[in-house]
Amino acid sequence: MKLRCAVAGATGIAGQQFLVALQSHPWFEVVRLAGSERSAGKTYRHAITSPSGQIGWNVAEPMPSQFAEMAVVEGSKLDLSGLDLVFTAVESDAAKALEPIYAAELPTISTASAFRYETDVPILIPAVNGDQSALIRVQQEHRKWKGFVVPIPNCTTTGLAVALAPLHQTFGLEKVIMTSMQAVSGAGRSPGVIALDVIDNVIPYIPKEEEKVQTEVKKILGKLVGGVVIEPDPVQVSATCTRVGVLDGHFETATVALSRPATMDQVKAAMQTFGRDMTPATHPSAPERWITVHDDPYRPQPRRDRDADRGMTTSVGRLREETVLGPHGVKFVLLSHNTKMGAAMGAVLVAEDLLKRGFIKQR
């Protein structure tokens, strides 16, 4: 018997990605959908159809037919009885209101930033910091919740944190300077990124994005001290985040100062062996390879590589020694699928890991 879940924010792009990620999941089954007030009381198909007849399905994969006629309820009226967990894909303000309601009763895995920076909330990427899940007990005790909230990182953080994790473990990290070229799908549809802004253009600013990346990387790579508090890693991170006319796939350039010497072969090996004990054999949504290292200097490219390994691998290329930032260092480019690994499917992977760790169970 599968665990019964709800998806809140099911009509947005991130919510649609959840429906795709969960449509034939071996462990989880979506049995309820929540949306905005505007959608409440409609079937799912109706809720995403505009008055002029446009079906607002914004994901590459076809809409899973099993959800078309499912009813959508308003988020705050979601019936939690009989559910085992909730996935939320709502805006930050809505998350602040809704997630405590869900978490009081149920495990709640969230793509929103609302709780990411709370001291009793871990931001999880299973192969990177799955052990930080121990903080869930602290959260439950502190907030008197039967469930909990666990957010995934910002989609720009995810690829960087995954690529840095093996370097952190193997050589130590001192400093990171990153520039992102982010895809438009991250901004959704309402209002989303306007075509006028990205055709033949680059937008040099995404509000709050750089701060999120800088804070989250340090927390994710931090140490869980005494099982009760995360001490952020001392690595210094500087990010510049831009938007380009790419549909999906956040591309980043990174320059990294390591604590200890490393040859490029050692860096490559550390990346390629990272996460090898967490694969589809153990976690259905995990990638075969957490990091794919390209030798072709023209790769990775967003359009040609974002869907590799079902959009769950972090693609790295152009590994080069670099000593400008520190005596030991490396620079490289990376690509992470912002709406797969960086959103819904990444959140499902977190749920899988929390199930294996006993934080989520059939009720």
**Which residues sit at the interface with a second copy, rule CB under 8 A?**
52-55, 58, 60, 175-177, 179, 181, 184-185, 189-205, 207, 236-238, 240, 242, 244-247, 251, 253, 255, 295-304, 317-318, 322-325, 331, 333
User: In 5-65, which ranges are continuous DSSP H helix?
Assistant: 13-22, 44-47
Catalytic site includes residue 168: no
Residue 209 CB, shortest distance to a second copy, in Å, is 11
| Exposure string for 257-287, b = 16+ CB within 10 A, e = fewer | bbbeebeeeebbebbbebbeebeeeebbbbb
Cβ(335)–Cβ(305) below 8 Å: yes
Residue 196 CB, shortest distance to a second copy, in Å, is 6
Cα 82 to Cα 320: distance, rounded to the nearest angstrom? 53
Measured from the CB atom, the residue of 143 and 331 that comes closer to a second copy is: 331
Measured from the CB atom, the residue of 160 and 184 that comes closer to a second copy is: 184
Residue 179 CB, shortest distance to a second copy, in Å, is 4
Query: Which candidate, 25, 336, 8, 323, places its Cα nearest to that of 164?
Result: 336
Residue 165 CB, shortest distance to a second copy, in Å, is 19
Q: How many CB atoms lie within 10 A of CB 234?
A: 12
Measured from the CB atom, the residue of 276 and 320 that comes closer to a second copy is: 320
Q: 165 CB contacts (<8 Å, ≥6 apart)?
A: 125, 127, 128, 221, 274
Query: In this structure, what are the phi and psi dihedrals at residue 185, rounded to the nearest 5 degrees?
Result: -65, -25
Signed CA dihedral, 358, 224, 117, 128: sign only: negative
Which SS3 state, helix, strand or coil, does residue 310 take? helix
Residue 335 CB, shortest distance to a second copy, in Å, is 9
Cβ(149)–Cβ(155) below 8 Å: no
Q: Spot the catalytic one: 5, 241, 250, 294.
A: 250
Catalytic site includes residue 241: no
Chain-centre distance for alpha carbon 137: 22
Tokens encoding 263:
């040859």
Measured from the CB atom, the residue of 32 and 250 that comes closer to a second copy is: 250
Residue 198 CB, shortest distance to a second copy, in Å, is 5
Bridge partners, 173 (sequence order): 258
Measured from the CB atom, the residue of 41 and 297 that comes closer to a second copy is: 297
Cβ(19)–Cβ(47) below 8 Å: no
Measured from the CB atom, the residue of 36 and 255 that comes closer to a second copy is: 255
Cβ(292)–Cβ(341) below 8 Å: no
Measured from the CB atom, the residue of 130 and 245 that comes closer to a second copy is: 245
Residue 251 CB, shortest distance to a second copy, in Å, is 5
Cβ(83)–Cβ(31) below 8 Å: yes
Catalytic sites, residue numbers: 155, 250
